[in-house]
Amino acid sequence: MPLARSLSVTSLSGLEEWDEEFELEDAVLFEIAWEVANKVGGIYTVIQTKARLTAEEWGENYFLVGPYVESNVRTQVELIEPPNPALKRTIDKMNASGCKYVAQSEDPPHVVAHFHEWLAGLGLVLCRHRQLPVATIFTTHATLLGRYLCAGNVDFYNKLAEFNVDKEAGDRQIYHRYCLERAAAHCAHVFTTVSQITAIEAEHLLKRKPDVVTPNGLNVKKFSAVHEFQNLHAQSKNRIQEFVRGHFYGHLDFNLDKCLFLFIAGRYEFSNKGADIFLEALARLNYLLRVNHSDVTVIAFFIMPARTNNFNVETLKGQAVRKQLWDTAHTVKERFGKKLYESLLVGQLPDVSKMLDKEDFTMMKRAIFATQRQCQPPICTHNMLEDSSDPILNCVRRIGLFNSSADRVKIIFHPEFLSSTSPLLPMDYEEFVRGCHLGVFPSYYEPWGYTPAECTVMGIPSISTNLSGFGCFMEEHITDPTAYGIYILDRRFRGVDESCNQLTSFLFQFCKQSRRQRIIQRNRTERLSDLLDWRYLGKYYISARHMALAKAFPDTYLYEPHDPTSTTGFRYPRPASVPPSPALSRHSSPRHSEAEDNDEDERYDEDLEAEKDRVNIRQPYSMPFKNKPSAANGANESSDGDGSEKN
């Protein structure tokens, strides 16, 4: 089944500025989700990052509704009095009945209720069943049945049209939840999902074609200095290098300046997130680096939370040894500096042979002996509760990557989310990502994919797949994603072994890049961040809300959806130079040799290329929110036929 462009809104330029403006002063928006101030997964990030833009549009008429979790309320919620009198009466009445969260307020004339995922879907179904005057939107970020089917190692996308959805849901004992999700999708005035690939999935599993695709965005922070993010990369990379020095003490026989940091992060779904194919590709990459006598060392981090009982003693010892060596070196340096200072004070050149005495050598010898290690550096930084059955560790045992001196690829499994308060690797996730060279996310099931999107915003190249929403989005809007540091792995039309070979090729080509080529590629990647800014992607949510208002209140609001065939969207063109890959290198592109990094004859102008990229995306504009009341009268209801009644 081809992944064809078939939705009402499919490209960034598919949404023009509206001819008719919307009067929102007498409307109220409620956004309902289980992850409002309650971090469980990616929906929390969607709602949190989108809130600022939505509040700018709706002002005090925007309300988020979620579960009342006392610990989250203390840290994430500021308790205030409701500004709306009708809402205050509703809250007081519900609190008196023992209810700790707000559902809706019926007093305003026009209410929009946006429900995320099946957990919130019951409220939508009841709104329609009780015929409440509420415009409803339902967004599925990933179908419930799709997650279960992919976890069962089925050929999901090739058999999508063949599944007996009722039987499959019943066999997995989720039929009641599946029915709730499907009912919410059909009852909503407007049904949306987060990507083209998930839209096709929803059409087959939920039996309704989404009205709008609403890609997930981020709040993009632009630096006043163009290359400030490169400086942040260098600072964070230095902190990761310090951790590596401790983790590999006694076996630090590789050059950290020629060391590349790769990582994969997310929920511990071994196959769905692509950890299986990543490990296999690392084994093949290790072979290629060894037979080609490469001086590059790859360290791959797996940041996936699993059940543990504590830090690994050997890992903690490594950081303690590193700190002890640093303290010893600092002490010797202080003693050396004092003797040098005193020698210069009396006007004599120092006798280098007398600058270090016997005590200094004794201190340094003790420090060296402390770094002796009889075992290999550990793979896992924690003690796993289910070591013998852990998928990552079992795969590592099968492929034989044990961090030995002969291996050019090393593996570090950190089965816990990163934290700046950790005694082991004291970095938060954003800082860690900035310090890495490449994010690898070869997911088989990824409705959107926030991890590669976060990499892009921070200027870090990433590998995604054509089965992820992010990968499909980038393929649609960039002529040559690889040239911009977005590697799209084909897991849709290739077998596992072919996909693994392609991933290995991506990794090997990346390892062959020079430092200058990687810097240029990061510059290009960071320039794509505008594509993922809520200032652009937020217009999809605005379109969905306007569509819902027009369907629920046709006498007041008018919305005419755009014909997808009337626009071809826009695409970032290929850069002025050839993509920074040694396999494609020409005279006009950055070259592989480190010795030629300062070649001034190279016809490459980074600033000029950046300016050409900037003209390919329009500047954010303020959405029109006001409208004359008379302009909405007499609105036709023709658009209502393509919404909640469509199967």
Is the pLDDT confidence value at 384 over 90?
yes
CB 465 within 8 A of CB 446: yes
Tokens matching residue 165:
């959805």
Average pLDDT over residues 168-176: 96
pLDDT band at 369 (very low <50, low <70, confident <90, very high): confident
Q: Which residue has the tokens 């942040």?
A: 232
**pLDDT tens-place string over residues 246-282:** 999 989 999 999 999 999 999 899 999 999 999 999 9
Question: What are the residues facing 424 on neighbouring strands?
Answer: none
Is the pLDDT confidence value at 39 over 90?
no
Average pLDDT, the chain: 83
Which positions ≥6 away from 610 have C-beta within 8 Å?
Answer: 226, 523, 527
d(C-alpha 425, C-alpha 489), whole Å: 30
The helix, strand and coil proportions of the chain, stated in percent and rounded to the nearest 5, come to 45, 10, 40
d(C-alpha 209, C-alpha 222), whole Å: 36
Q: Phi and psi (nearest 5°) for 256?
A: -65, -25
Kindly state which CATH superfamily the domain 221-225+239-312+378-532 is placed in.
Answer: Glycogen Phosphorylase B; (3.40.50.2000)
The DSSP line for 171-227 is: HTT-HHHHHHHHHHHHHSSEEEESSHHHHHHHHHHTS---SEE----B-PPPPSSTT
Rg of the chain, C-alpha, whole Å: 28
What's the maximum distance between 2 C-alpha atoms anywhere in the chain? 98
Residues 27-51 as b or e (16 or more Cβ within 10 Å = b) = bbbbbbbbbbbbeeebbbbbbbbbb
For 27-77+109-217, the fitting CATH number among 3.40.50.2000, 2.60.40.1180, 3.40.50.720, 3.40.50.970 is: 3.40.50.2000
Q: What is the pLDDT of residue 442?
A: 97
pLDDT band at 499 (very low <50, low <70, confident <90, very high): very high
Q: What is the pLDDT of residue 421?
A: 92
Q: Phi and psi (nearest 5°) for 157?
A: -75, -30
Question: What are the residues facing 135 on neighbouring strands?
Answer: 112
Q: What is the pLDDT of residue 506?
A: 98
Question: What are the residues facing 110 on neighbouring strands?
Answer: 27
Q: What is the pLDDT of residue 617?
A: 52
* CA-wise closest residue to 530 among 214, 217, 196, 195: 217
Give Cα 393 distance to the centre of its chain: 24
Q: Is 346 exposed, middle or buried (0-12, 13-18, 19+ CB in 10 A)?
A: exposed
d(C-alpha 87, C-alpha 105), whole Å: 6
Is the pLDDT confidence value at 122 over 60?
yes
**pLDDT tens-place string over residues 129-148:** 999 999 999 999 999 999 99
Domain ranges of the chain: 27-77+109-217, 221-225+239-312+378-532, 316-375
Average pLDDT over residues 540-549: 93
Is the pLDDT confidence value at 468 over 70?
yes
Q: What is the pLDDT of residue 594?
A: 41
Q: What is the pLDDT of residue 575?
A: 73
For residues 3 and 288, the model is more confident at 288
User: Given its phi and psi angles, is residue 445 left (phi above 0), alpha (psi -120 to 50 degrees) or beta?
Assistant: beta
Handedness of CA 547, 553, 559, 563 (dihedral sign): positive
d(C-alpha 374, C-alpha 372), whole Å: 7
Pairing relation of β-strands 308-311 and 382-384?
A: antiparallel
d(C-alpha 494, C-alpha 490), whole Å: 6
Please tell me if the domain spanning 27-77+109-217 has the same topology as the one spanning 221-225+239-312+378-532: yes
pLDDT band at 609 (very low <50, low <70, confident <90, very high): low
